[in-house]
Chains A and B, each alone.
Chain A
Amino acid sequence: MTAARPVAVITGAASGIGAACADHFRRSAWQTAGIDLHLSDTDLPLTADVANRAAATAAVSEVAARFGRIDLLVSAAGYYEEGIDVAEISVQQWDRMLAVILGGTVNAAAAVLPHMVSRGQGTIVAISSELALAGSATDLHYVAAKGAVLGFAKSLAVELAQTSIRVNVVAPGPTDTPLLAPGSPWRTPGYLATLPLGRLVRPQEIAAAVYFLATEGELYCGEVLSPNAGAVI
């Protein structure tokens, strides 16, 4: 049975940008499946650790079995450990960050691609970060992982260029989600005044960029779309 409406698989759908994407797509008459450590507000909420290849594959198989199609993967699963100096990052922190952010993207892409290939079309949007474009004075492991996603996505895009499957990246700037704690330096008036937009990006604005790429982005192949409030130009 193939669902009549297009289907979006969103990792990290339980909060922040992933949740905003789920909301936007549902309001745009898509069906949504969320894969997250926690239950998401989606049509098919699944819990799995995307850093685990088998778990990611099993979750995607469940989506395909339920809906019979996968039109879009949004790889938004990730987390942020703020304010850690490069000398203080432990090996475990480095490995885990890479496993979730890069590994999660790789695992989810590997899981959805057979379904997209057999349908002959699909879109993958990986969520990176403007910090991967510009660098950051702290949290090197987060930045490196988000940067690795850029290289991965650009290469996968070219590998799939002659199909109708498109792979692109949305690199959000400072966005108003729980990833930025209430006392975060990114929320201070002094910092916000440095942004041409004068405020944080809204999660809905990230979702709008993902939606654009998913519905009218067929010419974008390995591109990086960065709604970042003008933090990185």
Chain B
Amino acid sequence: MALVTGAARGLGHAIALRLAQDGFRVAVNDICDDGRLTALAGRTGGIAVPADISEGTAAARIVRQTSGMLGPVRVLVANAAVMSMGPFLEQEPGKWWRPIDVNLSGHFRLIQAVLPGMRGLGEGRIVIIASGWGVVGHRNATAYAASKAGLIALTKGMGRELGPQGIVTNAVAPSYIDTEQLQVDADDLGISLNDVRQRYRELIPTHQLATPGQIAATVAFLAGPGSAGVIGQVLQPGGGVTRTRA
């Protein structure tokens, strides 16, 4: 059984569908359920577990509900993310910390909550969705970059610590994916969504934005049997952009 956070749309949605296609029953989480989450759960053979993962009791509640209905979580995909942009010096502290509270701390609590079940199974996979901006940083995205870099470091630590327990942790750090999320980037730059798509295409060596399905393929590899030897690694399906300083 797999659990995917932030699954209502975009990348999380594609990941949930791909894992279901690969034979998993997938429980799906997002901050709320406006019907999309329940509809998705119907397609993935799982259940909808809406919750704000940054809220103190959410992780325990999510795991109780999923293991009650579907058994222990064997694969966790930590995908939910808050993305906000703005110049660092203009950030109001409460708003600045939000991406860290959700993306990093929220998933930290959820990982703690799923670990007993994985230990009971004697195995588990944790796939953390980080970001190319967590690898190289980006202007006007200090909190988001910090949260994703924190997730990368968490991945490495957990890779070392949990590997001996049969729990394999890796991260995927995509760069520019063609989803609604790009609107945040567009607003920060003061340009249209189409213009930001074009601008990002020009930064990427392959000149192509990723689709959610293409990123989901990497998640599927890391959730599957062939990748047991990959531990604590950060995979970057980003068309080469993080190495050609964009």
C-beta contact mask, B195-208 vs A, less than 8 Å → 1, else 0? Answer: 00000000001111
Q: Of residues 142 to 162 in A, which have CB atoms within 8 Å of B's CB atoms?
A: 154, 157-158, 161-162
Q: Given that A219-B210, A219-B239, A233-B233 are contacting pairs, would A197 and B228 also be in contact in the complex, using a CB cutoff of 8 Å?
A: yes
Question: B214: which of A161, A195, A198, A218 is its contact (CB, 8 Å)?
Answer: A218
Bound complex: CA of A195 vs CA of B163, how far in Å? 8
CB within 8 Å of B: which of A203-233? 204-206, 208-209, 211-212, 216-223, 225-230, 233
B240 CB contacts on chain A under 8 angstroms: 157-158, 161, 221-223
In contact, B229 and A228 (Cβ under 8 angstroms): yes
Point out the residue from B210, B215, B231, B238 that lies within 8 Å of A196, measured CB to CB.
B231
Q: Write the B220-237 contact mask toward A (1 if CB under 8 angstroms, else 0).
A: 010001111111110111
Chain B residues with Cβ under 8 A from A206's Cβ? Answer: 229
Q: How far is the CB of A220 from chain B (nearest CB, A)?
A: 6
> Given that A162-B206, A216-B221, A220-B237 are contacting pairs, would A209 and B227 also be in contact in the complex, using a CB cutoff of 8 Å?
yes
Tell me if A173 counts as interface (CB < 8 A to partner B): yes
Tell me the complex Cα distance, A217–B240, Å.
12
B156 within 8 Å of A by Cβ? Answer: yes
Q: Using A158-B244, A223-B235 as known contacts, list a sample of 16 further A-B pairs with CB atoms less than 8 Å apart, ordered by residue number in A.
A: A157-B205, A196-B159, A196-B163, A196-B164, A197-B228, A209-B226, A216-B218, A219-B210, A219-B215, A219-B239, A223-B240, A225-B233, A228-B231, A229-B163, A230-B231, A233-B231
CB distance from B159 to the nearest CB of A (A): 5
* Interface residue tally on A, bucketed by range: 20 to 34
Chain B residues within 8 Å of chain A by Cβ, number = 35
Cα-based distance from A225 to B172 in the complex (angstroms): 11
Closest B residue to A161 by beta carbon equals B205
**Which residue of the partner chain, among A154, A162, A233, contacts B156 with CB atoms under 8 Å?**
A233
Once the chains bind, are B156 and A205 in contact (CB under 8 Å)?
no
Residue B64 lies at the interface, judged by CB distance under 8 Å to chain A: no
Chain B residue at minimal CB-CB distance from A229: B229
B184 adjacent to chain A (CB < 8 Å): no
**B185, chain A: closest CB distance, angstroms:** 19
Instruction: Give Cα A227–Cα B210 distance, bound, in whole angstroms.
Output: 24
User: Hey, which bits of chain A sit against chain B, CB under 8 A?
Assistant: 154, 157-158, 161-162, 173, 195-198, 201-202, 204-206, 208-209, 211-212, 216-223, 225-230, 233
Query: Chain A residues near B205 (CB, 8 Å)?
Result: 157-158, 161-162, 221-222
Q: How far is the CA of A90 from the CA of B104 in the complex (A)?
A: 51
Residues of chain B from 53 to 82 with CB closer than 8 A to chain A in the complex: none
The answer to whether A216 touches B230, judged by C-beta atoms less than 8 angstroms apart, is no
Q: In the complex, are the beta carbons of B233 and A226 less than 8 A apart?
A: yes
Contacts of A208 in B (CB 8 A): 221, 225-227
Q: Is the CB of B229 within 8 A of A173?
A: yes
Q: Do A211 and B226 form a contact, CB below 8 Å, given A161-B240, A216-B217?
A: yes
Instruction: Give the chain B neighbours of A227 by CB distance below 8 A.
Output: 227, 229-230
Separation of A226 and B222 alpha carbons in the complex (Å): 12
A161-B240, A212-B221, A222-B243 given as contacts; is B163 within 8 A of A205 (CB)? Answer: no
- Residue of B164, B232, B237 near A219 (CB, 8 A) is B237
CA of A158 to CA of B230, assembled, Å? 25
Q: A196 and B232: CB pair below 8 A?
A: yes
Bound Cα distance from A198 to B164, whole angstroms: 6
- Bound-state CA distance A219–B218 (Å) is 10
Q: Which of A158, A197, A202 contacts B231 (CB 8 A)?
A: A197
